[in-house]
């Protein structure tokens, strides 16, 4: 075994795989830059750590099950003047996750609620938190199914585990009577332990209708609102804005109105 193979074997055994795979390039680079041994070791360790961070992030993205790829840089705050950019930045720091708080993102369809939820989930992953994204309807269907099969406990633990649970589009469909209670159990379980980010097209005052039960809705809101950041987006749909811009909607707007003269 020559020295090179021996080093490769040692790096494999230490699981320093990034170093092992880029060894020749790294040694060349250290030589070219005339690094001291300490500087070279530092650079080698940095590469290994960078690869591990990237791996963890890639894996966490897979586990999070985001419906699409979005980030905060891609969010046009100018299009949504009702949004407080500083507040979004503060939430993006992840402090609310460390504190087990809730974020409610409310507003009509198309204003960027899911975009922001995914972007904030992305920031959370980069900050090192585990995240799970689920549409509200899927969450409730999964809980109801598990309940029917006597596995509710298992499902509740599954949804209680990630440090941040994102529940998207709450209130898009009204809940079945049982579902409200199942959702309540999840919220109680996570309360003051795991953070939640909930998006909804319904104002908090309408949640009684969403859950079909004012008492359960109050109990849910009581916990969600206790330590919470409520963000209400009052704007136009970004989708329609794009269409309007490209002239697709102009025709409708300019269509002759029936005269009542
Ligand atoms: P909502 O969840 O509120 O119904 P979405 O987040 O799904 O809306 O937004 C609809 C589409 O428009 C998505 O593709 C999203 O990325 C885009 N979008 C919405 N608002 C913005 C914005 N302010 N800047 C950039 N893209 C936006
Ligand atoms: Mg949405």
Q: Are residues 52 and 177 in the same domain?
A: no
Question: Residue 229: what are its φ and ψ, rounded to 5°?
Answer: -120, 115
Q: For 64, list phi and psi in degrees, rounded to 5.
A: -75, -25
Which of 136, 121, 198, 188 has its CA nearest to residue 160? Answer: 188
Residue carrying the six token digits 């930045």 = 89
- Single residue among 19, 45, 64 that ends a domain in this structure: 64
Percentage of the chain lying above the pLDDT 70 cut: 94
Inside any domain, residue 226 = yes
C-alpha 202 to ligand 2 mean position (Å)? 12
Distances from the Cα of 214 to the Cα of 149, 174, 178, 204, 210, angstroms: 27, 13, 13, 12, 9
Could you tell me if 37 and 133 lie in one domain? no
- Identify the band that residue 29 occupies on the pLDDT scale cut at 50, 70 and 90: very high
Q: What is the pLDDT of residues 137-157, one digit of tens each?
A: 999 999 999 999 999 999 999
Ligand 1 mutation pick, 70, 80, 119, 238, max ligand atoms within 8 A of CB: 238
CATH number at residue 126: 3.40.50.300
**Cα 161–166–171 angle (5° rounding)?**
125
Residue 120 and residue 125: Cα distance in Å, rounded? 9
* Domains held by the chain: number: 2
On whether both 228 and 138 belong to a single domain, the answer is yes
Question: Which residue owns the Cα nearest ligand 1 atom 21?
Answer: 112
Mean pLDDT of 94-111: 96
Residue 88 sits in the same domain as residue 14: no
In a domain, 34, yes or no: yes
254 is a domain residue: no
Per the model's pLDDT, the better-predicted residue between 259 and 233 turns out to be 233
- Tell me what the mean pLDDT of segment 78-104 comes to: 95
Do 148 and 36 belong to one domain? no
Domain presence at residue 261:
no
Q: For residue 170, give the ligand nearest its CA.
A: 2
Instruction: Tell which atom from ligand 1 comes closest to the C-alpha of 168.
Output: 2
What tens digit of pLDDT does each residue of 164-223 get? 999 999 988 888 878 899 999 999 999 888 999 999 999 988 988 888 888 899 999 999
Ligand 1 interacting residues, C-beta cut-off 6 A: 70, 74-76, 79-80, 107, 109-115, 238-239
The answer to whether residues 142 and 54 belong to one domain is no
**What's the 216 CA to ligand 1 centre distance in angstroms?**
31
- Can you list the alpha helix ranges (DSSP code H) found in the chain? 3-13, 17-21, 23-32, 37-64, 85-92, 95-98, 113-126, 136-148, 152-160, 177-190, 207-211, 214-226, 238-245, 250-254
Q: How far is the CA of 191 from the centre of ligand 1 (A)?
A: 29
In terms of domains, do 120 and 180 share one?
A: yes
How far apart (Å, rounded) are the C-alpha atoms in residues 90 and 102?
13
Residue 257 clears pLDDT 50, i.e. is over it: no
Give the model's pLDDT for residue 249.
Answer: 61
Residues 35 and 110 in one domain: no
pTM of the predicted structure, to 2 decimals: 0.86
The pLDDT score that the predictor gives to residue 168 is 98
Q: What is the DSSP letter of 94?
A: T
Torsion of CA 213, 218, 219, 222, to 10 degrees: 160
In the predicted structure, residue 245 carries a pLDDT above the cut 80:
no
**Choice among 9-13, 82-86, 104-108, 206-210 with the minimum mean pLDDT:** 206-210
CA distance 43 to 244: 51
Question: Which atom of ligand 1 is nearest the CA belonging to 74?
Answer: 25
Q: Which range marks the domain in which residue 105 is found? A: 72-245
One domain for residues 109 and 230:
yes
Q: Is 65 exposed, middle or buried, given 0-12, 13-18 or 19+ CB atoms closer than 10 A?
A: middle
In this prediction, residue 248 carries a pLDDT of: 67
């Amino acid at each position: 075994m020559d020295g090179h193979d021996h080093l490769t074997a040692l790096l494999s055994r230490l699981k320093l795989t990034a170093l092992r795979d880029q060894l020749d390039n790294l040694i060349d680079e250290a030589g070219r830059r005339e690094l001291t041994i300490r500087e070279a070791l530092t650079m080698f360790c940095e590469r290994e750590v960078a690869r591990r961070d990237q791996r963890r992030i890639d894996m966490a993205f897979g586990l999070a099950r985001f419906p699409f790829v979005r980030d905060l840089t891609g969010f046009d705050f100018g299009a949504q003047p009702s949004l407080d950019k500083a507040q979004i930045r503060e939430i993006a720091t992840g402090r609310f996750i460390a504190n087990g708080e809730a974020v409610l993102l409310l507003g009509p369809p198309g204003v960027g609620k899911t975009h922001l939820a995914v972007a904030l989930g992305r920031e959370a992953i980069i900050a090192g938190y585990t995240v799970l994204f689920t549409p509200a309807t899927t969450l409730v269907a999964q809980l109801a199914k598990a309940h029917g099969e006597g596995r509710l406990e298992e499902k509740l633990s599954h949804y209680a585990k990630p440090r941040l649970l994102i529940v998207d589009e709450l209130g898009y469909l009204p809940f079945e009577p049982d579902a409200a209670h199942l959702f309540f159990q999840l919220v109680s379980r996570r309360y003051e332990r795991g953070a939640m980010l909930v998006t909804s097209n319904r104002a908090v005052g309408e949640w009684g209708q969403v859950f079909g039960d004012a008492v359960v809705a109050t109990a849910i809101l009581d916990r969600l609102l206790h330590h919470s950041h409520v963000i209400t987006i009052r704007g136009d749909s970004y989708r329609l804005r794009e269409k309007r811009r490209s002239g697709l909607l102009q025709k409708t707007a300019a269509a002759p109105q029936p005269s009542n003269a």
